[in-house]
Structure 1
Amino acid sequence: MKQPKKRRFQLNERQLGYAMVAPSIILIAVIIIWPILLSAWNSLFDYRLNDPSKAERITSLSINLETYADNRYLVYDTMEAVRDTMPGAESTLDNITSALDEQHETLLKTDEGLADRYEEVNTMLENYQPVNDDDLRLTEIPEAWTDGFTAALDEQTAAVQALREDAPEGAVQPLTDLESQLSNTKNAVLEPNFVGVKNYTEYLGNGRTWTAMLNTLLFTVVTVGVELAIGMLVALLINRVFIGRGLVRAAVLVPWAIPTAVAAMMWTFLFDGQSGIMAYYMAQLGIIDDPGVLLSTGAGGMFSVMFADIWKTTPYMALLLLAGLQTIPRSLYEAAAVDGANKFQQFFSITLPMIRSAILVAVLFRALDAFRVFDLIYVLTGGGPANSTESISVYAYKLLFEQQNFGAGSALSVIVFLSVALLSTIFIKLIGSDLFSGRLKQ
């Protein structure tokens, strides 16, 4: 009797659907969700890369064994140089050595296994190896030891300062180095810099933040509105049948194909008050009073970035609207013409209702993109003059990378993300959840 064949493993329809979207979900989690979560975590700390005492995310009183071991070696090495150049300092140097050794022994006894970790870190430093393992490099310490350690360093620093007053010329530099190294050793102790939502409350109460937010909203509303109007006209034009239509369609897309940073640099030269062609002709036509106002005044700067964005992104809007126009059957227009409808009546009765979904999708995408504007403004005006064109993304960048204030910059980044999410949610709620099916909420 034949054995029945075993059925091969098969996924049902739902499982197959999940399996198909799993790579996309993983990709989104790695590229989008993880950076957002990391920014949210950073925003809860007073995290500054330009301040050694705040260059780590610390939730409890800790010591950086790498910094401690490095400075401890430098202190002992410099003390030997002082001994060679100032024999009369033996007693003071012995006291410094004794005090540091006492604090060192006390430190190693505060945690079991700390002595072995310190030796491992010290060995890595001797071999010129970086200490990248935070679990090895950072360790919690009791507050009582920290107070004694800081007091001992301050006392020995004062003793070195007293030595330097009567030191011979050859010992002045080694004593200066020793004083600096004793002071730097205190930087090994890391105070907790967890501040919770302080960065959010501080910057949401900051006038500059709201100015940047208003600049962003103004930029978004004006540019998207103008791009929609001009993009509609361009889409209607290139949707018609005429000789050379393909060439015109290709030419229209050229501004959109130019990288934003390159386009911004180009407009910087065109708007220049001394040699800019656009600035010169705008002044000649009476649009502006003086060629120099475009990049040297707040209103001129905002006009410049808006003009450059409209020039570059209108083709994108036209392309999305053209796709909607090409879905409208020609028979509708022929029937309307037979009924005596003119071109304006056809546009408002046929064209607009038929491409409403395309318009809404185009406005949504462009609004979200415009709200996050960074490169155009940063290259064209740098957010100036006097922060008058600074968007919220530019402000976040300046905090993050120019001031290296990762805590505050991350808080602003999270605010940008939440603003974009809120904007998209409100937009979709207002126009109905059936946006992408081409129908409006009744």
Structure 2
Amino acid sequence: MGDKEKKKQVKKDKNPDRKAAYLLIAPSLLLILVIAIYPVIQSFYFSLFDLRLNSPTKSSVHLDYSINLDTYLQYYPFLVDDLDSTIEDTSGPVKEGLTDVKEDLESLDQNIQEDTGKTYEEVNNILNNFETPSSELAMVDITNETADQFEETIKEINTALTQLKGTDEIENFSEIQGLASGLQGAIIEPNFIGFQHYQNQLTDPRMWSSLWTTVYFTIISVAIEFVLGLAIALLINKAFFGRGLIRATVLIPWAIPTAVSAMMWKFLYDGQNGIVSKFFMELGIIDSMSTLLSTNFGAMSSVILSEVWKTTPYIALLLLAGLQVIPKSLYEAASIDGAGKWKQFIHITMPMLRLSILVAVLFRTLDAFRVFDLIYVLTGGGPANSTETISILAYKVMFAQTNFGAGSALAVIVFICVAIISMIFVKVLGSDLLPENQGK
């Protein structure tokens, strides 16, 4: 049997195992798809629309023209009745102009009835019984031709009424014009705008400022947390009396809910009664107690200090787990060879701890980049947006401004940034996780 035939036979033998492996991981992949990927896809879909929750015509997704029969039927019958009574009381050019207006309205109404079918009569009967139809029933899709005719008809009606405004024969002119204008709110245009939100955000200085603030916060906080976490992990890895109690105590800041710890630090930073602000002022670090939360640098430093206090134990815990699996025999052999503590740390501890360091830094980088609750409770993104991260900006746009489309675009941008960070770290981790001779 030749080499090629042997390779084919090996591949055939591996196929059943490979299929079985795929079947085993299929539930996990499905769970990841539902929990992680679907919300991102949904946010991306919403970001393609001008979706504003405070606007009746843009509070939902509209791919086609729609008509609100509830609004339409509250104006159209009264407008036609007023035109009938006015036409009977007028003559000459005014009567001819109003007659043309009425004929245009009736032609438009006929097309709307053809598009909406039985729903038209159903909504009309509900209104005649002095009841309110549901929004799902009243909102009906119409063709683009009917929508164009609607807009042209309303425009012609307003133009005709404006020309007849100077005459004294129309006593209820303002009422007729008001009813005609009210019909304009019945048509709901498609709010699909494509990638317009992304173009607006990528050219918005505020978005780039919030992104830079996020990157700055992430780099500084994670760097400090890593140095302190490594020191703590090395300390509590030693054998000494009360080590278990110390380990449990170190984890207390991480166990406290973020919102609670943020509120606690807010009191500590208070410009009048804060203990931390008082301590820093006496040390000469700040000029006054109010500096911490009222200045750009002070607010960012305060946020970073709070984040470091809370999450350093998390890194220490991950690094401690890595230290626990390093064989003690390596240190004993190095000590016999005459290596000091520093050389043992450089040549044994750090290389053996490399994967644990990368995993810890990856998790903390992703968490820091998506930070929201700590800053929202502590500073709210202020002062003057100096601590406004991209997650805070997305929250403000989506919920404070109720601009759901633009907020969804920002959420997608956050996801893309997090995905890029993850791919970089996974690329670094992959070279050590896979054996060098795996492909041989």
The answer (yes or no) to whether the contact 2:115–2:143 under 8 Å persists in 1 is no
Can you list the C-alpha shifts for 1:304-333, whole angstroms capped at 9, x where unaligned?
Answer: 111111111111111110110000111211
Identity %: 45
Amino acid at match of 2:111: K
Once structures 1 and 2 are overlaid, which stretch shifts more, 13-22 or 246-255? 13-22
1:43 paired to 2:44: no
Aligned to 2:288: 290
* Greater mean alpha carbon deviation, residues 138-147 or residues 257-266: 138-147
CA distance in 2, matches of 1:376, 1:114: 51
Corresponding residue for residue 106 of structure 1: 108
Q: Give the Cα separation in 2 of the matches to 1:21 and 1:133.
A: 44
Give, in whole Å, the separation in 1 of the partners of 2:28 and 2:225. Answer: 32
User: Relative to structure 1, is the Cα distance of residues 161 and 187 closer, same or farther in structure 2, using a 3 angstrom cutoff?
Assistant: farther
Counterpart of 1:433? 430
The amino acid that maps onto 1:103 is L
SS of 1:320's equivalent?
helix
Decide whether aligned partners of structure 1 residues 264 and 14 sit closer, same or farther in structure 2, where only a CA change above 3 A counts. same
Q: CA deviation at 1:44?
A: 2.0
Once the two structures are superposed, what CA deviation does each residue of 1:62-94 show, in whole Å capped at 9, x if it has no partner?
1233xx3245336758999x9xxxx999969x9
Structure 1 SS opposite 2:142: strand
**1:18 corresponds to which letter in structure 2?**
Y
Are the aligned partners of 1:400 and 1:406 in contact in 2 as well (CA < 8 Å)? yes
Amino acid at match of 1:231: G
1:307 match:
305
Q: Deviation digits for residues 105-155 of structure 1, max 9, x if unmatched? A: 524425845232323455677665534379x63333421332213543686
Task: Give 1:57's aligned amino acid.
Answer: V
User: Paired residue for 1:414, among 405, 412, 415?
Assistant: 412
Q: How far 1:196 sits from its partner (Å)?
A: 2.1
Q: Which residue in 1 is equivalent to 2:273?
A: 275
- The question of 1:16 aligning with 2:20 is answered yes
Letter in 2 for 1:363: V
The 3 A distance-change label for structure 1 pair 418 and 180 is farther
**TM-score after normalising by structure 1:** 0.81
What is the CA-CA distance between 1:365 and the residue it aligns to? 1.3
Q: What is the CA–CA distance in structure 2 between the aligned matches of 1:220 and 1:334, rounded to whole Å? A: 38
- Give the C-alpha shift of residue 50 in structure 1: 2.0
Pair 14,273 (structure 1): closer, same or farther in 2 beyond 3 Å: same
The structural deviation recorded for 1:181 is 6.7
Letter in 2 for 1:365: F
Please, which of 102, 117, 120 is the counterpart of residue 119 of structure 2? Answer: 117
- Which of 321, 324, 330 pairs up with 1:323? 321
Aligned residue number for residue 251 of structure 2: 253
Partner of 1:210: 208
The amino acid across from 1:17 in the alignment is A
Q: Do residues 147 (structure 1) and 144 (structure 2) align?
A: no
Aligned partners of 2:163, 2:286: CA distance in 1, in Å? 65
Q: For 2:99 and 2:37, locate their aligned partners in 1 and report how far apart those are by CA, in whole Å.
A: 51
Please state how far the C-alpha of 1:202 moved relative to its aligned partner: 1.8
SS in 2 for 1:52: coil
Distance 1:390 1:158 in 2: 54
The 2-side partners of 1:69 and 1:40 are apart by 32
- Counterpart-to-counterpart distance in 2, 1:275 and 1:137: 60
Q: Give the equivalent residue in structure 1 for 2:8.
A: none
Please give the alpha-carbon distance, in whole angstroms, between the structure 1 residues aligned to 2:262 and 2:180: 50
1:73 corresponds to 2:78: no
Matched length: 410
**Quick check: 37-46 or 183-192, which moved more?**
183-192
Query: 1:380-414 deviations in whole A, cap 9, x for unaligned?
Result: 11111111110011111111111111221111111
The 8 Å contact of residues 52 and 187 in structure 1, kept in 2 or not, is answered as no
How do residues 135-214 of structure 1 correspond to structure 2 at under 5 angstroms? 137-142=140-145, 143-152=148-157, 183-214=181-212
- Residue 220 of structure 1 corresponds to 218
Instruction: Give the structure 1 partner of residue 5 of structure 2.
Output: none
Shift of 1:434: 3.2
**Runs (5+) with no aligned partner, structure 2:** 1-14
- Please give the per-residue CA displacement for 1:340-378, whole angstroms capped at 9, x wherever unaligned: 222222111111111101001111111111111111111
Kept after mapping to 1: 8 A contact 2:101/2:160: no
Q: What amino acid maps onto 1:249 in structure 2?
A: R
* CA distance in structure 1 between the aligned counterparts of 2:367 and 2:247, rounded to whole angstroms: 23
1:211-245 deviation line (CA, Å, top 9, x unaligned): 10110000010011000000001111111112221
Deviations 1:233-277 (A, max 9, x none): 111111111222111111111111111111111111111111111
Change in CA separation of 1:207 and 1:333 when aligned onto 2, cut-off 3 Å: same
Alpha-carbon distance in 1 for matches of 2:111, 2:270: 67
Instruction: Provide the rounded CA distance (Å) in 2 between the counterparts of 1:161 and 1:337.
Output: 106
State the SS of the aligned residue for 2:136: coil
Change (3 A) 1:155 1:298: farther
Give distance in 2, aligned partners of 1:162 and 1:303.
Answer: 71
* Consecutive unaligned residues in structure 1, runs of 5 or more: 1-10, 168-174
Moved more, 301-310 or 178-187: 178-187
**Root-mean-square deviation (CA), in Å?**
3.6
Q: Could you tell which deviates more after superposition, 220-229 or 342-351?
A: 342-351
| TM value normalised by structure 2 | 0.81
1:335-414 to structure 2, matched below 5 A, reads 335-414=333-412
